[in-house]
Amino acid sequence: MATFTLRVNGRSHQVDVDPATPLLFVLSDELDLRGPKFGCGLGQCGACTVVVNGQATRSCVTPVSSVGQNEITTLEGLGTADAPHAIQQAFIAEQAAQCGFCLSGVILTAKTFLDRNPRATDEQIQQALSGVLCRCFGNGRMLKAIRRYASERTV
């Protein structure tokens, strides 16, 4: 066991865990965050996505020891129910959430991609999201919400 100080959603947290523990389990079990989900456990589906130092990161295959002092943002860290982040608001406006299992991966991957590529084409957005699996096929509405967010932030 080792003690780690993690900066999650703008707050500092100390956790005492095995250094090899996946970040996902620290976020869910130690910090009670439910945005990132356990999906495949192999880093292939994207349900566990969080943002680490500005990069979309699969938390199920990221050992907590590798995070260091980097800022970690989960879906909960973007906005609140009363004041959602603009991308969350776009998903609400487009009624893009269906079961919600993949939302952490879709929203955080789209946001980090658009932060780096604000004028991305639809094809580039779809390519960036190709590694995030949606099980209930709400993809059409999700893409519409992401396009809405992209157009509103470049206006």
Where in the sequence is the domain holding 51, given as residue range(s)? 2-77
- At 106-138, the pLDDT tens digits run 999 999 999 999 999 999 999 999 999 887 766
Pick the last residue of a domain from 77, 105, 127: 77
Joined together, the tokens standing for residue 109 give 């991957």
Give the CATH number for residue 49: 3.10.20.30
Cα angle for residues 3, 108, 28 (degrees, 5° grid): 35
Distance (Å, whole) CA 139 – CA 135:
9
Give the CATH number for residue 110: 1.10.150.120
Looking at the structure, tell me whether residues 33 and 91 fall in a common domain.
no
pLDDT given at position 140: 85
Q: What is the pTM of this model?
A: 0.92
pLDDT given at position 154: 59
- At 1-21, the pLDDT tens digits run 999 999 999 999 999 999 999
Looking at the structure, tell me whether residues 6 and 56 fall in a common domain.
yes
Looking at the structure, tell me whether residues 41 and 105 fall in a common domain.
no
Looking at the structure, tell me whether residues 11 and 69 fall in a common domain.
yes
Looking at the structure, tell me whether residues 109 and 73 fall in a common domain.
no
Looking at the structure, tell me whether residues 9 and 67 fall in a common domain.
yes
Looking at the structure, tell me whether residues 134 and 71 fall in a common domain.
no
HSE on the CB side for 56, CA within 13 Å? 26
Looking at the structure, tell me whether residues 6 and 33 fall in a common domain.
yes
Domain count, the chain: 2
- DSSP string for residues in the chain: -EEEEEEETTEEEEEEE-TTSBHHHIIIIIT---SS--SSSSSSS-TTEEEETTEEEEGGGSBGGGTTT-EEE-GGGT--SSS--HHHHHHHHTT--SS-TTHHHHHHHHHHHHHH-TT--HHHHHHHTTTS--SS--HHHHHHHHHHHHHHHH-
Looking at the structure, tell me whether residues 64 and 107 fall in a common domain.
no
Looking at the structure, tell me whether residues 72 and 41 fall in a common domain.
yes
Looking at the structure, tell me whether residues 13 and 73 fall in a common domain.
yes
